[in-house]
Amino acid sequence: MKERIHHLETKCRRLTMAVTAMIVLGIATMCIAASPNHAKEAIQVSKIEIVDTEGNVRIRLGRADDGYGVVVYDKDGKFRATLTDAPRGAGMQLIKDGGSITMLAMNQGSGLTIRDSDGKSRAMMLQQEKGSQLILKDGEGKSTFSVPE
């Protein structure tokens, strides 16, 4: 009987030590996890998307055509604005139902185009090595004013 009690006491001590070790390990783990995070120098991802409350992508940072940039969408998922840099040049485009404005800066020059709601060019301002040009067009696409001609 003494042997049996001694065996049970030994088992109880071992169990108490094991439980105590698990509690200490758990507290140590929580302390390590709760330590303050140090600021990272950089976060690197290939794409970031900002969504609205319904989960629709409203802003995307990442790949855009042949380059990278920021693309903005309306609540229906229609493209509305972009700011991109690509091998052939940098560009910005703003679109609404009444028309659009496109600005491009390229190695060979730069330009600004204003389009109507049908997508037809109505005004263009171009700058190239050979000179600058301003063109105004009517709704049919015919030039109404051009400098130089």
Condensed to tens digits (0 to 9), the pLDDT of residues 81-107 reads 999 988 888 999 999 988 999 999 988
pLDDT value for 33: 75
| Mean pLDDT of the region 54-71 | 89
User: Taking 90 as the threshold, does the pLDDT of residue 116 lie above it?
Assistant: yes
Give residue 135's identity as a one-letter amino acid code: I
Q: Which helix (H) or strand (E) holds 29?
A: helix 2-34
| Mean pLDDT of the region 65-79 | 89
pLDDT value for 35: 66
| Mean pLDDT of the region 106-112 | 90
pLDDT > 70: percent of the chain: 98
User: Taking 70 as the threshold, does the pLDDT of residue 47 lie above it?
Assistant: yes
pLDDT value for 65: 73
Number of Cβ within 10 Å of residue 81's Cβ equals 17
**What phi, psi does 74 have (nearest 5°)?**
-85, -175
The tokens for 97 are: 């139902």
Per-residue pLDDT tens digits for 4-15 = 887 778 888 888
114 falls in which pLDDT band (50, 70, 90)? very high
